[in-house]
Amino acid sequence: MTRKEYNKCVDLYSDRVYRFIIKNMKHHEDAQDVVQNAFEKLWLNREKVFFEKARSYLFTVAYRNMIDIIRKVKRIDWVESVPEQIQKSKSKTFELRDSINLGLSQLTDTQKSVILLRDYEGYSYKEIAKITGLTEAQVKVYIYRARKKLQQILVSVEKAI
């Protein structure tokens, strides 16, 4: 990968990696560190990583780094109380987004990661398995459980509203 391609990767993927990580970590500084580490690693390995594979590489590195931090630091607030957080907004879109954020915060880290990789990034189950180090079957189960849980939360939020 050339220097120019690396810079292109920053333009192309930094927002996306960050979006993925921040949804998992909540802490802005930690998420920024993870993104920076991932790009630093990409830069160090630029001779080996092809431009076309850079996206997967960044997500893989960032994901693993994030898991390490989560396990070590253990300062993630997973659960937020649902009813208090809901505010009626003008548009239906906004309501939906709020509810989904609330739902996401109640998933486990793995559930959250796999569903974000699937829905945000459009990765196949096979690719998600590669990034997360899980088997394809595990990925499918995690995604199923995550969707089920989100569904339940959305229903409860609707009732609350």
Residues that bind another protein (CB under 8 A): 3-8, 10-12, 14-19, 22, 32, 35-36, 39, 43, 51-52, 93, 97, 100, 104, 115-116, 119-120, 122, 124-125, 137, 140-141, 143-145, 147-148, 150-151, 154-155
Q: Which is nearer to another protein, 74 or 96 (CB)?
A: 96
CB of 74 vs another protein, minimal distance in Å: 24
Rounded Cα distance between 70 and 89, Å, is 32
For another protein, the closer CB: 8 or 64: 8
Based on the number of CB atoms within 10 Å of its own CB, is 30 exposed (0-12), middle (13-18) or buried (19 or more)? buried
Question: Alpha carbon of 114 to those of 78, 82, 141: distances in Å?
Answer: 16, 22, 10
Q: CB of 92: closest distance to another protein in angstroms?
A: 9
Q: How far is the CB of 109 from another protein (least distance, A)?
A: 16
Buried b (16+ CB within 10 A) or exposed e, 47-58: eebeeeebbebb
Question: In this complex, which beta carbon is closest to another protein, that of residue 7 or of residue 45?
Answer: 7
* Nearest CB to another protein, comparing residues 42 and 69: 42
Kindly state the smallest distance separating residue 18's Cβ from another protein, in Å.
4
